Structure 1
Amino acid sequence: MAKCRNRQGAVLQRQLFQLGRLLVCCVLAITCVILPVQANWLSDIHRSISGDEKAPSLKPLSPAELADYPADYTYERVIAPSHQAPVFVLQAGLEHRDTVVLIHGLGDLASKDWLTVIPTLAKQYHVVAIDLPGFGLSQGAVFTYSPQQYAKVIDWLITQYRHDGQVNLVGHSMGAAISVYYASQYPERIQQLVLVDAAGILDRTAYIKRISTRDNDQADLPQSVRRVLARVDNLADKILEKSGTGFDPTRIFSGDSSLRNMTIGEQTNVNAALALMEQNFSVLSYQAVPPTHIIWGGQDNVAPLRTAYALQHVLPLSRLQVINQAGHVPMKSHPHEFNHMLLASLNAMIEPRQARPQHNSKRMGRCFQDDQSEFSGQYQQIILNDCKLARFDNVDVTHLSITDSIVTVSASRIGTANHSMQITRSVINATDTEILGQMQSDRSRFDFAGVTFYGESPVFVSQASTRLVLSLTRIITPTQSTRLGGSYVLAEQSLESAL
C-alpha cells in the first residue's frame, strides 16, 4: 500500500510539474510575441513610406565565420533575387552529376546541422546546403519567414545550383516542413523528397496537446491509476481544445506584415516559428508530391512521431523509417545509422502501400471498464462502454459503438459503406485511419491526424456539442474531395455544413 501511495504521489508530482511547465511555456511564448525588439520604429516607418530602403550589401565571408566548416568545400554569400536577401550557400561533391539540396531547421547552427551528413553524401552526390535568410551566415533579412516565402528562396537555389535535371530535396524539422510545402508546389523539380522529423505539420492544438501529455502505458502503474490519469489528461485536452477555437494573440501578426516586421522581424526564430504555425499544411495537395522517404527519431519530443504516420497517410508514395532511440536531431545523435538510412533511401524505390485484405471476420470485440483495452486485427463489431484506456492498432472493424470511453486509434479502417456508427460522450484520437460510412457524434470530441472519410455526404454528423481538431484530414465522396485542418465546434449539424 505504501509503495502504491508513493507511486501515485510521484505521478501526481509529475503531473503538476508538467502542467506548470506548460503554463510557463505559454506565458513565455505570449511574452516573446507581444514585446517588441529594440528598434527605431519611427525610422523603420519613415524608410518604408519614403522608399529609402537601402539595397542589401554583401559582406565577404571571413575566416572566423568559416572556422567550423571543412576547408575543401565551396562557400559563397549571394543575393537571392526573390527577396533581395543575402544567402550563404555551401557546396561539396561538385564532380558528381546528381544534386542533393539540404534545408535546415530552426536554430542558430543552420547548415552546420548537416556537417555530420555532408561528407558521406559528397562521396556520391553534388551537395548544396543553405543558411536560410535570417539564419546562420545569411545576413539578416526582414520579411515573413514562412514556408511560402522560403519556398521562393529554395526554388531560386535549385534553379541556380542544380547540376542536372531534378534534385533530391532533404529537409529537417522546420526545413522538412518547408520542403514538403515546396514539393507540393513544384513537384516537377524534385526526384525524391526526404523529410526528417518534420515540425509544424499538425494543427497547433493537436501539437500542444501531444507535447503536454505523458505516456500512461507504464507497466508499473495499476489500471485504476492509469484510468484516473487518462481522465486528468482528458480534462487538460478539453481545455486546450477550447483555446484552439478562441482568441489567439499570435494571429494579430498574420494579416499585418508591417506590424510583424517592426516587432519580431529581426527575431528570426520567433518569426519563423510563428509563420510555421500559421501555415495550414492540411490543405496542401499531396497527390502530386514525388516519392517521399520519412526518417524520424522515435524519442522526438519536438515533432511527435504521430506526425510521421499522418504524413505517411496522405503521401501516396512514402516510406517511414524510425531510429528508435534518437530524438529530434537524429543526424547528430545517431550519425552512422542516419547516414546509412539516408543513402539507402536516396537509392531506393518506394512501392505503393498494400491494400488491406478483404474483410471476412465474424469476430466480436467488447470492452466494459477496460476489461479488454487492446484491439487489433479484423472484427465484425466492437462495442466499448466506459473504457478509458482503449487502443485500436491496425484494426479493421465493420460496426462500431462507443459510449463514455477514451479511444486511441492508429493504422485502422473503421466502418463500412452505407452504414453509420455511434460515438456518445467519448473522446477519439485517430491517426493514419480510414473511416467508411457515416460517423455520428453525441457530445464527443475528436482529434484526427491523417484520417480520410469515405462515403456519401454527410460523412460526419454531430447530434449535439461536438469538438474536432483536424490535421491532414480528408473527406472523399463520389462528387468531391475536401482537405481539412483546424479546430471546429459543431452543434446539431454535419461537418460539411461547417466548412
Structure 2
Amino acid sequence: MLTSLNPPFRSVYTPSPFQMHPFHWWECGQGTETVVFLHGIMAHAMAFRLAVSPLAARFRVIVADLPAHGRDQTFRSPDDIPPTVQGLSRWLDALLASIGDSRVHLVGHSLGATLGFHRALRADRAPLQSLTLISPGLKLRTPRQAAGLIKRLPSPLAQLGMNRLGIRLLEPLQWRRARMTTDELDAYLEPLKHPARLDFMLRLAADLVAAGDRSQGAEHIALPTLLIWGDRDHLLPLETAHRLERAIPRASLHVFNACGHCPMEDYPDDFNRLLADFLALHAHP
C-alpha cells in the first residue's frame, strides 16, 4: 500500500540475527539522517502512510513492521523473539544495527513508542538523536487482570472480529472512516487474518496489559523528546502525558483536542507540521 505514495516507498527485506527470518520495512528518501517509524500493536507500516512522505525530501525514512505485523518474518523465530515487550526490545536493538545509520530519529506510536521509550532509557542510546512518543502505551486503562483473559483467547475466536465491521470497534484502529478507504482497510486487515500472526499479537497484548505501569525512569531520558497525545484517548490517561513531560528533562508535549489514540490519523496535516518542525530542530545542519 505504501508503494502508492509519492515518492513511492520500496519494500525491503534485510537479514536479521534471528535465524533465517528477515526484517521487513518500507523505505524512501536518501538523507544523511534516518527517521524510523514504529507502529502500534495490531497495526503495521501503513499506519504512518499519511505522515511519511513529507519527510522524504530531507531524511531517509524507514517504516518498520513489528514482529508478526505486516510482512515481518522475524516472529517465526520464537526462541529469539518471544511475544513480550522485552523480546521486542531486543528485536529493536537488532533492527537499528541492521539499518546501520549513525543518526536516527525514532518515532513510535503506542507499542512502538513503548519500545522507543525503553530504548532511550539505556546508557548506550546511540544511534538515537531524538525521540517522538505518540500515545505511548506505558500505562493502559485496561485492568491488569485482563491479561489472563487475553492470553487464553483462542486466535480462531479473535479472528471473527478481523473484518471491516469488527476492526472499527477496536483501538488503536478506531480511525475516522474518511481517513481510510475500503482498499486501505482491507490491506490493513490482511495480516490479522493469519492465525500464527494473530496468536503472537494476542500473547504480546497480554504481556502489555500485565505489566501495569512501564513509565518508570523517565527522568533518565536525555534525548530531546516530543510527546504527542489525544485528549480523548480512552486507552491512555492524559495524566501520564503531563507526568512524562515533567519527568523527561528535554520533553515538550502537544495535546490534540477532540483526538483519540491516533493523532496522525485524526489530524494528519497538523501532526505532520508538528513532527517536521521538531525533527528539523534536532537534525544535523
How high is the TM-score relative to the length of structure 2?
A: 0.72
For 1:177 and 1:148, the matched residues in 2 are separated by 11
Give the superposition deviation at 1:67.
6.4
Residue 281 of structure 2 aligns to a residue whose secondary structure is coil
**AA at the equivalent of 2:133:** L
% identical aligned pairs: 26
For 1:284 and 1:169, the matched residues in 2 are separated by 19
**AA at the equivalent of 1:299:** R
1:188 to 1:68, Cα distance in 2 relative to 1, 3 A? same
**AA at the equivalent of 1:166:** R
Q: What corresponds to 1:110 in structure 2? A: 44
1:99 to 1:314, Cα distance in 2 relative to 1, 3 A? same
Higher helix share: 2
Contact kept, 8 Å, 1:184 with 1:285, in 2: the verdict is yes
2:110 to 158, 170, 173: 173
Give the superposition deviation at 1:149.
1.8
Q: What corresponds to 1:345 in structure 2? A: 278
Give the superposition deviation at 1:288.
3.9
1:73 to 1:276, Cα distance in 2 relative to 1, 3 A? same
Give the superposition deviation at 1:330.
1.2
Q: What corresponds to 2:206 in structure 1? A: 274
**AA at the equivalent of 1:138:** D
Q: What corresponds to 2:159 in structure 1? A: none
2:56 to 122, 133, 138: 122
**AA at the equivalent of 1:126:** R
2:126 to 182, 188, 203: 188
Contact kept, 8 Å, 1:291 with 1:318, in 2: the verdict is yes
1:76 to 1:326, Cα distance in 2 relative to 1, 3 A? same
1:81 to 1:318, Cα distance in 2 relative to 1, 3 A? same
Residue 290 of structure 1 aligns to a residue whose secondary structure is coil
Task: Kindly report the root-mean-square deviation, in angstroms, between the aligned alpha carbons of the 2 structures.
Answer: 2.9
With a CA cutoff of 8 Å and minimum separation of 6, indicate the structure with the bigger relative contact order. 2
Q: What corresponds to 1:454 in structure 2? A: none
For 2:70 and 2:118, the matched residues in 1 are separated by 22
Residue 187 of structure 1 aligns to a residue whose secondary structure is coil
Give the superposition deviation at 1:70.
6.1
For 2:226 and 2:147, the matched residues in 1 are separated by 36
Q: What corresponds to 2:12 in structure 1? A: 76
Contact kept, 8 Å, 2:146 with 2:209, in 1: the verdict is no
**AA at the equivalent of 1:276:** L
1:83 to 1:345, Cα distance in 2 relative to 1, 3 A? farther
Contact kept, 8 Å, 1:117 with 1:339, in 2: the verdict is yes
**AA at the equivalent of 2:67:** P
For 2:231 and 2:218, the matched residues in 1 are separated by 27
**AA at the equivalent of 2:26:** L
2:66 to 103, 122, 132: 132
User: Bigger CA drift: 80-89 or 109-118?
Assistant: 80-89
Corresponding residue pairs, total: 233
Q: What corresponds to 1:335 in structure 2? A: 268
Per-residue Cα deviation, 1:41-86 (whole angstroms, up to 9, x for no partner) = xxxxxxxxxxxxxxxxxxxxxxxx8766668322222332146543
Higher strand share: 1
Give the superposition deviation at 1:192.
0.6
For structure 1, list consecutive stretches of 5 or more residues without a partner in the other structure.
1-64, 210-243, 254-262, 350-499
**AA at the equivalent of 2:200:** T
Residue 272 of structure 1 aligns to a residue whose secondary structure is helix
For structure 2, list consecutive stretches of 5 or more residues without a partner in the other structure.
152-194
**AA at the equivalent of 2:50:** T
**AA at the equivalent of 1:311:** L
**AA at the equivalent of 1:275:** D
Give the superposition deviation at 1:110.
0.5
Residue 206 of structure 2 aligns to a residue whose secondary structure is helix
Per-residue Cα deviation, 1:5-39 (whole angstroms, up to 9, x for no partner) = xxxxxxxxxxxxxxxxxxxxxxxxxxxxxxxxxxx
1:183 to 1:133, Cα distance in 2 relative to 1, 3 A? same
Q: What corresponds to 1:151 in structure 2? A: 89
For 2:280 and 2:95, the matched residues in 1 are separated by 23
1:67 to 1:99, Cα distance in 2 relative to 1, 3 A? closer
Query: Does residue 97 of the first structure (1) align with residue 97 of the second (2)?
Result: no
Per-residue Cα deviation, 1:454-491 (whole angstroms, up to 9, x for no partner) = xxxxxxxxxxxxxxxxxxxxxxxxxxxxxxxxxxxxxx
For 2:265 and 2:216, the matched residues in 1 are separated by 32
1:66 to 1:91, Cα distance in 2 relative to 1, 3 A? closer
Contact kept, 8 Å, 1:264 with 1:271, in 2: the verdict is no
Q: Which has the larger radius of gyration?
A: 1
Contact kept, 8 Å, 1:85 with 1:133, in 2: the verdict is no
Q: What corresponds to 2:148 in structure 1? A: 250
Residue 220 of structure 2 aligns to a residue whose secondary structure is coil
Per-residue Cα deviation, 1:223-256 (whole angstroms, up to 9, x for no partner) = xxxxxxxxxxxxxxxxxxxxx6xx7873997xxx
Give the superposition deviation at 1:291.
1.5
1:265 to 1:111, Cα distance in 2 relative to 1, 3 A? closer
Q: What corresponds to 2:169 in structure 1? A: none
How high is the TM-score relative to the length of structure 1?
A: 0.42
